[in-house]
């Protein structure tokens, strides 16, 4: 028969911290995050802090000091295209490597996947999503749309109540991340204090600066074997500065969309002369005219959606 003294004796007296850190591979995930996302220093710092907390908590379990898993539900606030989904994927990997979730996958949803359109429809929809997310991370984008107090026939409140119950009772098997614009999330939490009390980590994602957006754009081009020539690079700097002043700008997402259209214009420029002999460099090079043909420059500052 095993006694409490036997159990105490079985606990390690010392733990090799570097060995533990290397074995679980946290450093690999953090390095991957650095490679994937330019800038976002405060976000990356916070993720490293959370990773450190979880590693220490894992070691405390090993020493018999832990009394239960910490609350890990999170809130990501910021504008579109600031890397929230990418960070959620890396968080899930860290949680899985450290043993805080079983599978480490991410299920990303919006209101439409959770809320039904008639009586009796919401509960099964929400429960099905939760079933898929168990053992990993449930990422709810634009979470504030779950709550629509102006519509008394709205079924979002039913989804909220189910989510709150699962976040409390099954927090050892599911981490929920709520995401959206900072001001709207603040109103959402004020209207739903149950969510605020269950969120352990609030992480704000800042907008990218012009230089960071240029680096992001050049990185996206490199991945597809393209590059700007010197004039095109200057033109794209102008594009970024102008596009940021216009509505519906979505940081890295808008940069990706802009590059898709630039590549389209480059292809049509090349095809315009079918008798031309093309080199690999011709096929890779973005010229200034490919950038400057954008309607963003025609619209100017403060105009409508750019292309």
Strands ordered across the beta sheet of 106-109: 106-109, 137-141, 175-180, 74-78, 201-205
Over the chain, what is the mean pLDDT? 91
Whether residues 219 and 267 share a domain: the answer is yes
Whether residues 114 and 166 share a domain: the answer is yes
Q: Is residue 79 part of a domain?
A: yes
CA distances from 217 to 224, 232, 247, 262 (A): 11, 12, 20, 11
Cβ–Cβ contacts within 10 Å for residue 141, how many?
A: 18
Separation between Cα atoms, residue 124 and residue 115, nearest integer Å: 9
Separation between Cα atoms, residue 169 and residue 298, nearest integer Å: 55
pLDDT at 302: 46
Q: Is residue 95 part of a domain?
A: yes
The conformation of residue 260, written as its DSSP 8-state character, comes to: H
The conformation of residue 74, written as its DSSP 8-state character, comes to: E
Cβ–Cβ contacts within 10 Å for residue 178, how many?
A: 27
Higher pLDDT, 141 or 10: 141
**The token pair that represents 220 in the structure block:** 């996206």
Whether residues 167 and 295 share a domain: the answer is no
Lowest-pLDDT range of 9-23, 99-113, 264-278:
9-23
Size of the chain in residues = 307
* Domain count across the chain: 2
Whether residues 250 and 265 share a domain: the answer is yes
Q: Is residue 34 part of a domain?
A: no
Q: Is residue 22 part of a domain?
A: no
What is the model's pTM? 0.86
128 has pLDDT over 80: yes
pLDDT at 300: 62
Q: Is residue 45 part of a domain?
A: no
DSSP symbols for 145-168: GG--TT-TT--HHHHHHHHHHHHH
Tokens 């939490």 sit on residue:
189
Confidence of residue 74 (pLDDT cuts 50, 70, 90): very high
Tokens 């060995």 sit on residue:
19
Whether residues 162 and 90 share a domain: the answer is yes
Q: What percent of the chain has a predicted confidence (pLDDT) above 70?
A: 93
Tokens 């739903």 sit on residue:
192
Q: How many CA atoms lie within 13 A of 155 on its CB side?
A: 16
Whether residues 191 and 81 share a domain: the answer is yes
Confidence of residue 8 (pLDDT cuts 50, 70, 90): low
Whether residues 243 and 199 share a domain: the answer is no
Confidence of residue 304 (pLDDT cuts 50, 70, 90): very low
Q: Is residue 168 part of a domain?
A: yes
Q: Residues near 261 by Cβ (< 8 Å), separated by ≥ 6?
A: 294, 307
**The token pair that represents 191 in the structure block:** 């209207």
The CATH number that applies at residue 217 is 1.10.8.60
Last residue of a domain, one of 170, 205, 240: 205
Whether residues 165 and 264 share a domain: the answer is no
pLDDT at 70: 86
What are the pLDDT digits (tens) for 16-63?
888 888 888 999 999 999 998 999 999 999 999 999 999 999 898 888
Last residue of a domain, one of 160, 179, 205: 205
Residue 10 belongs to what H/E stretch?
Answer: helix 4-10
Q: Is residue 165 part of a domain?
A: yes
Whether residues 154 and 232 share a domain: the answer is no
pLDDT at 10: 64
Whether residues 201 and 155 share a domain: the answer is yes
Whether residues 200 and 73 share a domain: the answer is yes
151 has pLDDT over 90: no
Chain centroid to CA 162: how far?
Answer: 24
Lowest-pLDDT range of 2-6, 97-101, 211-215:
2-6
Q: Is residue 136 part of a domain?
A: yes
The CATH number that applies at residue 126 is 3.40.50.300
Please choose, from the candidates 266, 267, 241, the residue with its C-alpha nearest in 3D space to the C-alpha of residue 254: 241
Last residue of a domain, one of 205, 221, 237: 205
Higher pLDDT, 36 or 258: 258
Domain enclosing residue 166, as ranges: 69-205
Whether residues 170 and 232 share a domain: the answer is no
Mean pLDDT in residue range 95-120:
92
């Amino acid at each position: 028969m095993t006694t409490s003294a036997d159990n105490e004796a079985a606990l390690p007296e010392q733990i090799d911290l570097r060995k533990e850190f290397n074995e679980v591979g946290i450093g690999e995930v953090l390095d991957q995050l650095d490679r994937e996302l330019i800038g976002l220093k405060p976000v990356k710092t916070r993720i490293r802090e959370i990773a450190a907390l979880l590693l220490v908590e894992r070691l405390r379990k090993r020493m018999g000091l832990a009394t239960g898993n910490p609350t890990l539900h999170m809130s990501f606030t910021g504008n579109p295209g600031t890397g929230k989904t990418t960070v959620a994927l890396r968080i899930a990997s860290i949680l899985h490597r450290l043993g805080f979730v079983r599978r480490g996958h991410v299920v990303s949803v919006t209101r439409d996947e959770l809320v039904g359109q008639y009586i009796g429809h919401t509960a099964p929809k929400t429960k099905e999503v939760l079933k898929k997310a168990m053992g990993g991370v449930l990422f709810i984008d634009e979470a504030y749309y779950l709550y629509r107090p102006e519509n008394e026939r709205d079924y979002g409140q039913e989804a909220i109540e189910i989510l709150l119950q699962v976040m409390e009772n099954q927090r050892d098997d599911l981490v929920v991340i709520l995401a959206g614009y900072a001001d709207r999330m603040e109103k959402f939490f004020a209207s739903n204090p149950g969510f605020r009390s269950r969120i352990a980590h609030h992480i704000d994602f800042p907008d990218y600066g012009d230089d960071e957006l240029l680096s992001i754009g050049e990185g996206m081009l490199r991945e597809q074997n393209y590059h700007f020539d010197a004039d095109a690079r200057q033109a794209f700097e102008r594009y970024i500065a102008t596009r940021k002043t216009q509505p519906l700008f979505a940081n890295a997402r808008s940069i990706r969309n802009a590059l898709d259209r630039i590549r389209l214009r480059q292809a049509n420029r090349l095809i315009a002369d079918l008798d031309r002999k093309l080199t690999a460099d011709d096929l890779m090079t973005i010229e200034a005219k490919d950038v400057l043909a954008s309607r963003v420059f025609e619209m100017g500052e403060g105009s409508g959606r750019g292309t």
